[in-house]
A and B are shown apart, each in its own frame.
Chain A
Amino acid sequence: AQSVTQLGSHVSVSEGALVLLRCNYSSSVPPYLFWYVQYPNQGLQLLLKYTSAATLVKGINGFEAEFKKSETSFHLTKPSAHMSDAAEYFCAVSLLSGNKLVFGAGTILRVKS
């Protein structure tokens, strides 16, 4: 069965600092991987996705993620945090032939001024 682990339920960074949100997946076959962002009392918005093309994936708002098969990881990064990045972030995995996405528990990002 596929699963997702997000390390750190809360991450705090200073404005302008590097953002690193960690995601590890468990899957017996190559998966699709996703990062979503959620602002309070809103739905989820897709940041980026990996679908077996380039291993370094660029998304919206300056975020990117790198698929590392050997480490079963798909960590999300942004070189310089902005106050507007404060939100909850979810990593998700889906099999190539799968009907559904499995989500991690989420990481709340706080950006300090």
Chain B
Amino acid sequence: DGGITQSPKYLFRKEGQNVTLSCEQNLNHDAMYWYRQDPGQGLRLIYYSQIVNDFQKGDIAEGYSVSREKKESFPLTVTSAQKNPTAFYLCASRPDRNTGELFFGEGSRLTVL
């Protein structure tokens, strides 16, 4: 079935370590997004990519990095520069801007000890 796969579902890391969250989609969507979710704050946009080999910063990009080498894949790296990395991370994709809706993965919960 078509969809978005995020891995791992749960991840524990020590402070100061970089971690990479995987996001793969087989929906043939051009655009992909990463959001961070914290209780009571809704979803905040970290990075997005409209096309392969191109991406833009969202509202809270500091301490994060991404790549878009393939249409299907949009991994997110949480670097040691991110001051408060413990959160729920959601990857999404969008077929085209005319319909507007996003399709979401199941999320990855990162806990930094």
| A residues adjacent to B (C-beta < 8 A) | 9, 32, 34, 36, 41-46, 49, 51, 90, 94, 97-106
How far is the CB of A58 from the nearest CB of chain B, in Å? 15
- Interface residues on chain B, size class: 20 to 34
Q: Is the CB of B100 within 8 A of A34?
A: yes
| B residues adjacent to A (C-beta < 8 A) | 4, 6, 31, 33, 35, 40-45, 48, 50, 56, 58, 88, 90, 92, 97, 99-107, 109
Q: Is the CB of B107 within 8 A of A49?
A: no
Describe A's contact surface by its main secondary structure: loop
Give me 28 A-to-B residue pairs in the complex whose CB atoms sit less than 8 angstroms apart, sorted by A's number: A32-B100, A34-B100, A34-B101, A41-B107, A41-B109, A42-B106, A43-B4, A43-B90, A43-B104, A43-B105, A44-B43, A44-B90, A46-B103, A49-B99, A49-B100, A51-B99, A90-B42, A90-B43, A94-B97, A99-B31, A99-B48, A99-B56, A99-B97, A100-B33, A101-B100, A103-B44, A105-B40, A106-B42
In angstroms, Cα B90 to Cα A43, docked, is 7
Q: Is the CB of A43 within 8 A of B107?
A: yes
Q: What 10 A-B pairs are tightest by C-beta distance, nearest first?
A: A43-B104, A32-B100, A103-B43, A105-B42, A103-B42, A44-B104, A94-B100, A43-B106, A106-B42, A43-B107
Closest to B106 in A: A43
The interface residues of chain A lying within 8 Å CB-to-CB of B31 are 99
In angstroms, Cα B90 to Cα A94, docked, is 18
In angstroms, Cα B93 to Cα A23, docked, is 24
How far is the CB of B31 from the nearest CB of chain A, in Å? 7
Closest to B45 in A: A100
